[in-house]
């Protein structure tokens, strides 16, 4: 077709809605147009780009022995209820009813559908290994779609599913997919790095993400220059490091008034101590049970690690009413000393602190000169921080 006949609606100026360069360029070049939040139409040139990427993916997966299928975007609730993910998936799973009042969802992924197909159609282990892939539209009702196609609600995804007779076979299939992804990303000319990742809602024991390195990326990775280790920050492990310097002499703990000092910044400024000396107590409900998470004031909790340590499917921050019920104090004054009826887990970094600061479980009160192991003892120390 002649270029003069193509629909290429270019824009002179950057659209105000576009936050990052790729989004601005795709809109200005006439590759895509927005329909609704996180939902886009691919215009002729944009679709040509998509088809070229799809061709690279097909060539590499076919070379790895995978078979292409196409599964429906809508799937019945029964399959998701069987695996427990109908309720577990949360609001990202877009649910609806048909005219007969039967529950369905728009597939954010297709493990349930492909597993049901294979258990009905694969009759013998002799038919294994089998690897099926598709390039299909997915829908996830993201709470905050942004950055154009980078975080959309409706998107095109290649998903593959391998079935093997044993773990050894699964390892071989996994490696084939790993190598195929290496080839796909290399052929696309991307600056990328495969990193260890959390398995998330998909489940399993191991996972890799192929991260494209970019200033506009939303994920961070931890990389060791001395070895080949690389992981995203959700998965990166922090070991319990030995204390090399001689610890300072511990002092007797004292409760001091801290009127209106609720945040880490407030308390450290008021008491003139660094944030690394403050042991903050974060209260969570894990599968409905209260858990207190302790970590230094200069650190943030990794809720994915917390889920694994506790063995919980659901982890939510306790609300103000629950915090006050458990501690007897308003939010901002929770601490581990005298805290009962709550499982206490602490990050490794807390274990070797001396003369720290914790909440007093009383309004406008904090304990100072607190030493873990002497003044309180968590049920467990673990890697809990980002």
Q: pLDDT tens, position by position, for the chain (386 residues)?
A: 788 888 889 889 888 888 889 999 999 999 999 999 999 999 999 999 999 999 999 999 999 999 999 999 999 999 999 998 998 888 889 999 999 999 999 999 999 999 999 999 999 999 999 999 999 999 998 888 888 888 899 999 999 999 999 999 999 999 999 999 999 999 999 999 888 876 665 556 678 889 888 888 777 887 777 777 777 776 667 766 665 555 788 899 999 999 999 999 999 999 999 999 999 999 999 888 899 999 999 999 988 888 888 887 778 899 999 999 999 999 999 999 999 999 999 999 999 899 999 999 999 999 999 999 999 999 999 988 88
Same domain flag for 114 and 127 = yes
Tally of domains in the chain: 3
- What is the reported pTM? 0.73
Same domain flag for 153 and 55 = yes
> What's CA 142's distance to the chain center, in Å?
13
The crossing angle, in degrees rounded to 10, of helices 167-187 and 44-63 is 140
Q: How does DSSP classify residue 126?
A: G
Alpha carbons 99 and 94: distance in angstroms, whole number: 17
How many alpha carbons fall within 13 Å on the CB side of residue 346? 25
Q: Is residue 289 part of a domain?
A: yes
Domain limits for position 150: 3-188
Residue 37's contacts (CB-CB under 8 Å, 6 or more residues apart) are 145, 153
> What's CA 289's distance to the chain center, in Å?
22
Same domain flag for 61 and 179 = yes
C-beta separation of 286 from 315 below 8 A: yes
147 Rama class: left (phi>0) / alpha (psi -120 to 50) / beta = left
Alpha carbons 6 and 46: distance in angstroms, whole number: 12
Instruction: Give the CA distances from residue 15 to residues 30, 87, 124, 145, 155, in Å, rounded to whole numbers and listed in that order.
Output: 12, 38, 56, 17, 21
Same domain flag for 258 and 110 = no
Q: In this structure, what token pair is assigned to residue 57?
A: 């993916």
Alpha carbons 106 and 72: distance in angstroms, whole number: 9
Same domain flag for 47 and 182 = yes
Same domain flag for 183 and 195 = no
């Amino acid at each position: 077709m002649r270029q003069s006949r193509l629909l290429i609606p270019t824009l002179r100026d950057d659209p105000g809605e576009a936050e990052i360069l790729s989004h601005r360029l795709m809109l200005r070049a006439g590759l895509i147009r927005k329909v609704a939040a996180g939902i886009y139409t691919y215009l002729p040139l944009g679709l040509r780009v998509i088809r070229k990427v799809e061709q690279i993916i097909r060539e590499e997966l076919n070379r790895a022995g995978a078979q292409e299928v196409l599964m429906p975007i809508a799937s019945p609730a029964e399959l998701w209820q069987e695996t427990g993910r109908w309720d577990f998936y949360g609001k990202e799973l877009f649910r609806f009813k048909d005219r007969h009042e039967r529950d369905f969802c728009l597939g954010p992924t297709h493990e349930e559908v492909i597993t049901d197909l294979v258990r009905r159609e694969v009759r013998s282990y002799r038919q294994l290994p089998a690897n099926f892939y598709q390039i299909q539209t997915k829908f996830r009702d993201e709470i905050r779609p942004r950055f154009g196609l980078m975080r959309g609600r409706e998107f095109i995804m290649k998903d593959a599913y391998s079935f093997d007779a044993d773990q050894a076979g699964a390892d071989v299939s996994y490696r084939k997919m790993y190598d195929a992804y290496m080839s796909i990303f290399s052929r696309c000319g991307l600056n990328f790095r495969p990193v260890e990742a959390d398995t998330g809602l998909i489940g399993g024991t191991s996972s890799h993400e192929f991260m494209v390195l970019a200033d506009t990326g939303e994920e961070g990775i931890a990389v060791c220059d001395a070895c080949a280790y690389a992981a995203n920050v959700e998965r990166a492990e922090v070991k319990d490091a030995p204390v090399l310097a001689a610890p300072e002499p511990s002092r007797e703990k004292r409760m001091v008034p801290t009127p209106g000092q609720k945040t880490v910044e407030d308390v450290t400024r008021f008491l003139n101590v660094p944030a690394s000396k403050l042991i903050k107590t974060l209260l969570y409900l894990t599968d409905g049970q209260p858990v207190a998470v302790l970590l230094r004031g200069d650190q943030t909790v990794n809720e994915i690690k917390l889920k694994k340590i506790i063995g919980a499917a659901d982890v939510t921050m306790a609300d103000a009413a629950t915090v006050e019920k458990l501690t007897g104090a308003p939010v901002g004054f929770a601490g581990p000393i005298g805290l009962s009826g709550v499982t206490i887990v602490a990050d490794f970094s807390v274990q070797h602190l001396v003369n720290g600061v914790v909440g007093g479980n009383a309004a406008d009160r904090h304990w100072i000169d607190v030493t873990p192991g002497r003044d309180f003892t968590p049920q467990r120390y673990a890697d809990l921080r980002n």
